[in-house]
Structure 1
Amino acid sequence: MKLLDVLRKEAVLVNLEARDKKGVLEELTVPAAKISGIEHSKLVRMLMERERLGTTGIGGGIGIPHGKLKELGTVILCAGLSRKGVDFDAMDGRPVHIFFLLFTPEGSTELHLMLLSRISKLLKNDIFRQRLADAQDADTVLEIIEEYDEEP
């Protein structure tokens, strides 16, 4: 499964305004709530509980908040860019600029891990990461992902 199989244009936010973790999660979950029909506050609460277990700010300016929901019928992937950077309690202590938010149905552990791995692999590519950070609109973000996200 490629990322563009689950990432919809309306779920790409290129100008996140929030300056803290909760604010970013609130922004990123707006399209997720619309797509899933699940209450926005429930999505934020679930992600904040997950963050208490350990940060999803993996370093290098990247955050991959994620979770599983039993009432979810499909995978939801959102992407966000913060121009100023966000204090996301990243492992390296640096601000986070690139976010991928992933929700999967509760029983889909293998799919969940595969998508997290795919996102992480893409973001290890310095050129991909820089091009993504510089993208000015959702169409450009999708084009960049399509260019780099090849089948394994």
Structure 2
Amino acid sequence: MILSDVINKNAIQVNMRAQNKEQAISMLAALLQKDGAVKDSERFIQDVYQREREGKTGIGGYIAIPHGKSEFVAHTCIAIGLLDQPINWESLDGNPVKVVILFAVNKKDKNDYSVKMMSQVARMLGKEEVCAQLLSAKSAEELISIFN
């Protein structure tokens, strides 16, 4: 799987002005709906919050990876938001979040596909240099190139 193929290039926002977790998820879901990747952003967001209740998606290092498996996702993809200011988020290291990587997973996709996608991103985020590049990115193109 090539990650840059599942990143929705129309759902990347740099300098995103979200004030909190809810706004960040909502803004990215709206971009996915506008592009047709999500059929109903509000219902998709409900599925994301269902997953949020199961455990922290702030993985540390100022990065969060919220995700939802939903019948309201037209096709599995990733949206990325680079916030202009860090926001509070329940995270493993207690730090706020500056990068939000939202996984929108079609409920019909086989579990192994979404698990492979998420584990590939997790492996990348386990590298300090990748996280540093994400945090300092200045454009959507730069964010995409990090995942190539």
3-state SS in 1 of match to 2:100: strand
Aligned residues: 146
SS state at 1:74 partner: coil
Decide which moves more: 69-78 or 113-122.
69-78
Structure 1 residue identity aligned to 2:144: L
Between 42-51 and 116-125, report the one with greater CA deviation. 42-51
The equivalent residue for 1:114 is: 116
Question: How do 1:122-141 residues align onto structure 2 when only pairs under 5 Å count?
Answer: 122-141=124-143
- Aligned twin of 2:30: 30
Specify whether residues 25 and 72 from structure 1 end up closer, same or farther in structure 2 by C-alpha distance, changes over 3 A only: closer
Question: For residue 135 of structure 1, what is the amino acid of its counterpart?
Answer: A
8 Å contact 2:38–2:75 — kept in the other structure?
A: no
Contact 1:22 1:48 in 2 (8 A): no
Structure 1 runs (4+) deviating above 6 angstroms are none
What is the aligned partner in structure 2 of residue 82 from structure 1? 83
**TM-score normalised over the length of structure 2:** 0.90
- SS of the counterpart of 1:48? helix
Per-residue displacement from partner, 1:121-144 (whole Å, max 9, x unpaired)?
111111111112111111111122
Paired residues of 2:41 and 2:72 also in contact (CA < 8 A): no
Aligned CA-pair RMSD: 1.5
- Please name the residue that 1:62 is paired with: 63
Whole-angstrom distance in 1 between the partners of 2:145 and 2:24: 23
Cα drift, residue 80 of structure 1: 1.1
Q: Secondary structure at the match of 2:69?
A: strand
The answer for the alignment partner of 2:19 in structure 1 is 19
Change (3 A) 1:126 1:93: same
Q: Is the 8 A contact 1:67 1:103 kept in 2?
A: yes
The one-letter code matched in structure 1 to 2:134 is L
Identity %: 27
Partner SS, residue 53 of structure 1: coil
**TM-aligned CA distance change 1:44 to 1:21, over 3 Å:** same
Mapped to 2, the partners of 1:23 and 1:72 lie a distance apart of: 19
Whichever residue aligns with residue 43 of structure 1, its letter is F
Q: 1:120 to 1:15 in 2, by over 3 A?
A: same
Contact 1:33 1:43 in 2 (8 A): no
Three-state SS of the structure 1 residue aligned to 2:16 is: coil
| 2:82–2:100 contact (8 Å) kept in structure 1 | yes
Equivalent in the alignment of 2:41: 40
